[in-house]
Chains A and B, each alone.
Chain A
Amino acid sequence: MTYAHGKHAAPTTFLSKYVFSYDHKVIGKQFLWYGIFFLGVGGMMALLIRWTLAFPGEAFPVLGNLLFPHTNGIVPPDTYSMLFTLHGTIMIFFAITPILIGAFGNYCIPLMIGARDMAFPLFNMLSFHIAVISGALLLGSLFTPMGGAAGGWTSYPTLSTLVGSPGAGQTLWCLSIFVLGVSSTMGAVNYITTVICFRAPGMGYFDMPLTIWGLWLTAILNAIFLPVLGAGVILLTFDRVFGTTFFLAGAAATSGSGDPILFQHVFWIFGHPEVYILILPAWGMVSDFLSFFARKPAFGAKATALSMTTITILSTLVYGHHMFTTQMSPLLTQTFMTLTMTISIPSAILFANWLGTLYKGSIRFDSPMLFSMGVVFVFGLGGLTGLYLGTVSTDLYLHDTYFVVGHFHYTMAASVLLGGYAGTYFWFPKMFGRMMDETLAKIHFWITMIGLNGVFMGMMVVGFAGMHRRLYNPFVYEFLEKLIPINKFITYSALLMGVGQLPFVWNFVYSLYKGKKAPANPWEVGTLEWTIPSPPIHYNFEEIPTVRCGPHEFGNPKLTNGRDFQYQTEELVE
């Protein structure tokens, strides 16, 4: 490899080491901080939303008077719209994407495939800096005279054009998403190239850990579909700023006429793969962790990888199920319904393989394992509730109700969040050379599990009872009045979930400085990142390793070295 000869000296100044770093490990950590910051912001917004739904017209406790002095601490309706718009935008694009893809992608890909860095380190650095600009644009939009974007995270025109949203907030939102798309596309191109070109000698595609499979497939989807979203929001910006009419129709289109539904097509062509962009890295990690902690080879690892690939391909063909109520032609509707349903075959295979991995294992319940099993549980619920929404007739009733909100929070929020925590607990010792506290981690797990199931199950229940989304005060409707107690229950669960994150924050910060020194291989697994010291040295590997066996070699009865696992650098004992 020519790359191996081009080692630079390690940076020494603060700026070159921590800010303008080309090192994938530093960039990964930068994305982690960035994501955790926005996770906090988005979480606070969620609590404000939940408060309004459970106690409409009552002042938000403690912070209310500070945030909304003009209404005596009550969240006003226009602010409420901004809150759910930005909660969605921030959680998807600024919290989950940076943590799962930015942080773990950057940190793990080179280490787990035995490379010294990413293929394009400059791109990688720019990808983070551009993400910062994007975050600044979004947060800045909150301080414009008419406030931030308030048309929902989907920003459907014509509500998101000047017809429904005057003011700079929505324009800044569009630009922010466009800029973030540039950042993520740069990252994606980088990941794809790195995985294809920089795998250590001897590592075939099926010798890659499934984490890498997940991240790689995610990167492919990102590279293909983020530009589509970019095109959509740029056209929307043109409509807003230059007076074009791509998405205007009816009375609002004074010169020529476009079509607001066109935006929905463009948005969901990106938007449905986006769901899988977020969940694939988590699936990959879970598939690995279940094997690592059950001390058993991953059951049907090849089938798992191929199922993930199948889902990746199918995910590009089903976006129309988000638009059943726009009355597409029956033929299109039927096609999208049928294609959507076929996704459950590879999904069922994934579940069968996950449970097959646990069967006759020797399961250790360390925190990454608990969180991984949590993912299996919540994704089971999330996946199965998708059936109702992929079915046209039930979707007629459930579309735009809280049932949808509950469903996508199970798949995107709950599963991905738990997956992200599993990854954080698992790689923390690698990143910082110290261990996180296990007891606090387990407390964190159980409170989070109880809280999030209360929230998202509750949402599906009120959704089935007919409560629709994005209502400032649902109880102006007579038929929804009976749902106040359940909404209170959801809000209490959300508070519990919020409080449950405090042990994590404390654990993370404390362990960073005072945590127990991590042993060389705390979880006793054989993937490449555990063959080098923690935290790894500059350029990771003194010698590029040669891979001789798969990533899940556990419990081989012929092993005689006193361990129950093999490193990937060792010849398979047969």
Chain B
Amino acid sequence: MSWLERISPPDIISTNGHLIDSLFTYTTIMACIFFFFVCLGLFGFSWKYSAKKNKVVDYTYGNRKKQLKMTLVIGLLVFVLIDLTITWRSNNDMINEFWNFPKQDEDITKVEVLAQQWMWNFRYAGADGEFNTGDDVLTNHDLHIPVGKKVEFRITSKDVIHSLFFPNARIKVDAMPGRISRMWFQPTKTGIYDIACAEMCGTNHYKMQAKLYVHTQEEFDEWLSEAQHLATIGNDTDNLDNFWGWKWGDK
């Protein structure tokens, strides 16, 4: 494995993950340019104006008009080239993509997520299309979704704060007890990927991983119908612990 492969982030599997990488790249280029000038000053002046080479200093407080202008220009350059640009880009990305949640009537995959020490529980609506009923499909550690279709998660936690992290989709959101947080992305590639807990949640935090299976639509339908069948015959409806879900749309 080359060093470049080693240090690059995992493959992108979502329609909008590249936005984050490209903003990262822009910020990196700008940071490198400005840091280059800092180093140029630091090392260049050290070399040129060392006590050995330069005995007579420029006696100035740096408050001449020209110097003040220069300082101000540097400040403004940083503000416009870096701050304004990345704030503007990031804001657009958030409004157009990451905060632009699927509409009510869109055909999407809906998943409710319950985090607990140290496991991820996933809930699909099941055959009746309603959440928190006896026929819901319940999985833990494994999340199955179809490719090419938006998936929305509604997330909460049973005990402590966790954070649902899809490295391949470049996105994470906290799972908090007493609150429901939301997240969506649209997978573009089939395959098996890692899901991580990103927020410290106790001794076994490092073990709190799950797997993301992105299927083709046909494979997913097959998996879902089998899972629904198993749910109708196998769910223990007497066990209240299985009813940790809530009506989709309820907060």
Contact = CB atoms under 8 A, between A and B. Distances in A.
Given A391-B23, A472-B206, A330 B99 contact: yes
B49 interface: yes
Interface in A39-59: none
A397 B27 contact: no
A557 B59 contact: yes
B233 interface: no
Interface size class of A (residues with CB under 8 A): 35 or more
A249 B156 CA distance: 11
Contacts of A356: 62, 67, 71
Contact of A361 (B9, B54, B181): B54
Interface in B19-48: 19-20, 23-24, 27, 30-31, 34-35, 38-39, 41-42, 45-46
Interface stretch (B104-112, B125-133, B193-201, B216-224): B193-201
Contact of A252 (B51, B71, B177, B181): B177
Contact of A468 (B6, B10, B35, B165): B165
Given A377-B38, A381-B35, A325 B163 contact: yes
Contact of B160 (A164, A296, A477): A164
Contacts of B1: 482
Nearest to A151: B200
A533 interface: no
Nearest to A347: B78
B24 A394 contact: yes
B120 to A, nearest CB: 14
Interface size class of B (residues with CB under 8 A): 35 or more
Interface-central residue, A259, A330, A397, A400, by most chain B CB under 10 Å: A397
A159 B56 contact: no
Interface in A396-417: 396-397, 399-401
Contacts of A400: 163, 165, 172, 198-199
A341 B27 CA distance: 13
A387 interface: yes
A30 to B, nearest CB: 34
B49 A349 contact: no
A466 interface: yes
A486 to B, nearest CB: 7
Interface string A229-267: 000000000000000000011111100010111000000
B167 A466 contact: yes
A416 to B, nearest CB: 18
Given A150-B203, A352-B74, A393-B90, A477 B209 contact: yes
B4 to A, nearest CB: 11
A363 B46 contact: yes
Contact of B71 (A303, A380, A392, A465): A303
A401 B198 contact: yes
Interface in A86-112: none
Contacts of B179: 249, 261
Nearest to A346: B75
B200 to A, nearest CB: 4
B170 interface: yes
Nearest to A249: B178
Contacts of B159: 158, 163-164, 250-252
A509 interface: no
Contact of A377 (B42, B45, B178, B194): B42
B61 A299 contact: yes
Contact of A464 (B7, B45, B60): B7
A259 B49 CA distance: 58
A401 B24 CA distance: 15
Contact of B9 (A345, A363, A464, A470): A464
Contact of B86 (A260, A334, A391): A391
A250 B35 contact: no
B157 interface: yes
B48 to A, nearest CB: 9
A356 B57 CA distance: 12
Given A303-B71, A358-B45, A473-B206, A295 B57 contact: yes
A302 interface: yes
Interface string A329-353: 0100110011001101111110111
Contacts of A250: 156-159, 176-178
Interface in A547-574: 554-557, 564
B37 to A, nearest CB: 8
B205 interface: yes
Given A250-B156, A472-B206, A294 B27 contact: no
Contacts of B173: 325, 327
Given A355-B42, A360-B58, A380-B38, 18 more contacts: A158-B160, A159-B201, A252-B177, A260-B177, A260-B178, A297-B60, A297-B61, A300-B71, A333-B94, A334-B91, A353-B71, A373-B42, A373-B46, A377-B42, A396-B172, A468-B196, A479-B193, A479-B194
10 contacts: A158-B161, A300-B61, A337-B91, A353-B62, A355-B38, A357-B62, A361-B58, A362-B55, A362-B56, A479-B168
Interface of B: 1, 5-10, 19-20, 23-24, 27, 30-31, 34-35, 38-39, 41-42, 45-46, 49-51, 54-63, 67-68, 70-71, 74-79, 82-84, 86-87, 89-91, 93-95, 98-99, 117, 156-161, 163, 165, 167-168, 170-174, 176-179, 181-182, 193-194, 196, 198-207, 209
Closest 3 pairs between A and B when the two form their complex, measured CB to CB: A249-B178, A250-B177, A299-B62
Interface of A: 77-78, 81, 150-152, 156-159, 163-164, 248-253, 257, 259-261, 294-303, 325-327, 330, 333-334, 337-338, 341-342, 344-349, 351-353, 355-365, 373, 376-377, 380-381, 384-385, 387-388, 391-394, 396-397, 399-401, 461-462, 464-466, 468-474, 476-479, 482-483, 485-486, 554-557, 564
